[in-house]
């Protein structure tokens, strides 16, 4: 049985990484095998992307090309895990590339470039006001990265909201609520897609 491919999306500071971990624990508690992953990945290209984001030393078009290269390798891993029966929970995927890339690149061009990739079974966009996200980022990081300005976060958020129909089964969750309230929304969404698991790991 193929596993579920579940993606959590949202601007920096939306809380998606925290919710991804809670989702993994929830799925495992239901007897399902789960692989937690993220983009950029921990591979060589993903590490290069992170370095550029911290150094702020790359233009957006070059950055998006790196994201596409990283994803092509990543999708091979995802497909392999799904075939093995794992649920895959991914912290960021194609909508991040499109939303953040749209700051400097036409969004329709980015949509076409990302049409080739595996479609998630469930996409959850955690939506939060840019001011809230920016305060969270400022508390959590010692220095800002490439996209960490209030104006950029506001534009990226609007791009995310425009992408709700890019994939079927895309859901918007209010990330301004408490961690537990946000999680309860996500749990209800995912629960509706679950079938009894035949094995446990």
For the domain that residue 169 is a member of, what is the CATH number? 3.40.50.300
Per-residue pLDDT tens over the stretch 25-34: 999 999 999 9
Q: What is the pLDDT of residue 198?
A: 44
With respect to residue 48, please indicate whether it lies within any of the assigned structural domains. yes
With respect to residue 111, please indicate whether it lies within any of the assigned structural domains. yes
Q: What is the pLDDT of residue 147?
A: 57
Per-residue pLDDT tens over the stretch 20-54: 999 999 999 999 999 999 999 999 999 999 998 88
Q: What is the pLDDT of residue 159?
A: 97
Domain total for the chain? 1
Per-residue confidence band for 150, with pLDDT thresholds at 50, 70 and 90: confident
Q: Which residues contact 143 (CB under 8 A, 6 or more apart)?
A: 54
- Sheet of strand 5-9: strand arrangement: 34-38, 87-91, 5-9, 122-127, 170-174
Domain extent, residue 44, equals: 5-191
């Amino acid at each position: 049985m193929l596993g579920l491919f579940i993606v959590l999306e949202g601007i920096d500071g939306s809380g998606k990484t925290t919710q991804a971990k809670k989702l993994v624990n929830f799925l495992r508690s239901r007897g399902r095998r789960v692989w937690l992953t993220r983009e950029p990945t921990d591979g060589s290209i993903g590490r290069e992307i992170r370095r550029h984001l911290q150094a702020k030393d790359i233009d957006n078009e070059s950055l998006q090309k790196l994201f596409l290269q990283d994803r092509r390798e990543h999708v091979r891993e995802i497909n392999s895990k799904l075939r093995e029966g794992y649920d895959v929970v991914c912290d960021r995927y194609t909508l991040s590339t499109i939303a953040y890339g749209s700051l400097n690149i036409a969004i329709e061009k980015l949509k076409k470039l990302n049409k080739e990739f595996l479609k998630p079974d469930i996409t959850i966009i955690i939506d939060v006001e840019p001011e809230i996200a920016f305060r969270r980022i400022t508390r959590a990081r010692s220095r800002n990265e490439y996209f960490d300005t209030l104006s950029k976060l506001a534009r990226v958020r609007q791009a995310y909201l425009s992408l709700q129909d890019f994939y079927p089964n895309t859901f918007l969750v209010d990330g301004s609520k408490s961690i537990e309230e946000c999680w309860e929304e996500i749990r209800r969404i995912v629960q509706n897609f679950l079938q009894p698991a035949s094995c446990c790991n």
